[in-house]
């Protein structure tokens, strides 16, 4: 029974992830709109319980859908362990939560790095007048880049070079911090498992 529930949650989890990705796509193609509508009919009964949570809204960005994904991911984690005949320990739940939080942080770090690299390419690829959306990206990125470089130097750094440096630092931090976190949690898990034996 638990394996059936776990399998159902796994499928539903991927449906919700698909819905989350499709929500970022703006299109008027009838086929895609029809598919998005079908996916929304499947996910809306669950996701509607997480909408409108004020403390998950930051300006124009609403993180309530992420909470819905985290809750479903947690249920999936529990059912997978129970289906395997293993009841999760308190520290395995804590480690799981830490890894989920880091996963979302790492995702947004990579998105930011990709946007910076994209803007760096457009600086050399686009000549003449810039579209309005490029100006919007610059208004978002320039303060971040300036504050970051201001930590290390008072000298003026060219915008393209600053974008490249910051993007490289973000990518390196994402992978090094992720590796370090996994190693630390594995070490703690081994030590705590050893204590349980005694």
What is residue 61's predicted lDDT score, i.e. its pLDDT?
61
> Is the same domain home to 72 and 105?
no
**Residue 94 banded pLDDT, cuts 50, 70, 90:** very high
> Is the same domain home to 116 and 191?
yes
What is residue 66's predicted lDDT score, i.e. its pLDDT?
81
In the chain, what percentage of residues exceed pLDDT 70?
Answer: 95
> Is the same domain home to 145 and 76?
no
Residue 193: how many other CB atoms lie within 10 Å: 12
The secondary structure element, H or E, covering residue 131 is: none
- Distance between CA atoms of 6 and 22, rounded to whole angstroms? 24
Six-digit token string for 194: 């050893």
- Distance between CA atoms of 79 and 28, rounded to whole angstroms? 39
> Is the same domain home to 110 and 177?
yes
What is residue 36's predicted lDDT score, i.e. its pLDDT?
87
Alpha carbon separation from 26 to 47, 120, 123 (Å, rounded): 20, 24, 25
> Is the same domain home to 15 and 104?
no
Q: How many structural domains comprise the chain?
A: 2
Alpha carbon separation from 128 to 103, 138, 147, 160 (Å, rounded): 39, 16, 28, 16
Residue 123: give the domain boundaries. 89-198
* 126-170 tens-digit pLDDT: 776 777 778 888 888 888 888 888 887 778 788 888 899 999 999
> Is the same domain home to 149 and 193?
yes
Mean pLDDT of 23-45: 84
* Residues 6+ positions from 61 with CB-CB distance below 8 Å: none
What is residue 70's predicted lDDT score, i.e. its pLDDT?
87
What is residue 190's predicted lDDT score, i.e. its pLDDT?
92
Cβ-in-10-Å burial (0-12, 13-18, 19+) of 166 comes to: buried
> Is the same domain home to 136 and 189?
yes
At which of 86, 115, 136 does a domain end? 86
> Is the same domain home to 81 and 121?
no
Q: Which of 12-16, 30-34, 120-124, 128-132 has the highest mean pLDDT?
A: 12-16
What is residue 98's predicted lDDT score, i.e. its pLDDT?
93
> Is the same domain home to 193 and 129?
yes
> Is the same domain home to 127 and 56?
no
What is residue 3's predicted lDDT score, i.e. its pLDDT?
86
> Is the same domain home to 177 and 93?
yes
- Distance between CA atoms of 116 and 129, rounded to whole angstroms? 19
At which of 41, 66, 86 does a domain end? 86
Question: Which one has a higher pLDDT value, 30 or 173?
Answer: 173
Evaluate if residue 51 carries a pLDDT over 60: yes
At which of 29, 58, 86 does a domain end? 86
């Amino acid at each position: 029974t638990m394996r059936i529930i776990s399998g159902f949650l796994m499928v539903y989890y991927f449906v919700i992830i698909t819905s989350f990705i499709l929500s970022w796509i703006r299109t008027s193609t009838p086929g895609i709109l029809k598919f998005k509508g079908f996916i929304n009919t499947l996910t809306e009964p669950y996701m509607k319980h997480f909408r409108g949570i004020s403390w998950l809204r930051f300006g124009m960005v609403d993180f309530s859908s992420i909470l819905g994904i985290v809750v479903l991911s947690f249920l999936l984690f529990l059912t997978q362990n129970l289906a395997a005949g293993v009841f999760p320990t308190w520290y395995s739940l804590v480690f799981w939560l830490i890894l989920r939080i880091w996963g979302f942080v790492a995702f947004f770090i990579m998105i930011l790095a990709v946007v910076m690299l994209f803007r760096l390419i457009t600086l050399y690829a686009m000549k003449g007048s810039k579209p309005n959306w490029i100006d919007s990206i610059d208004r978002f990125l320039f303060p971040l880049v300036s504050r970051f470089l201001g930590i290390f130097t008072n000298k003026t750094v060219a915008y393209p070079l600053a974008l490249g440096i910051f993007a490289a630092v973000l990518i390196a931090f994402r992978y090094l911090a992720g590796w370090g976190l996994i190693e630390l949690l594995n070490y703690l898990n081994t030590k705590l498992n050893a204590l349980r034996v005694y």
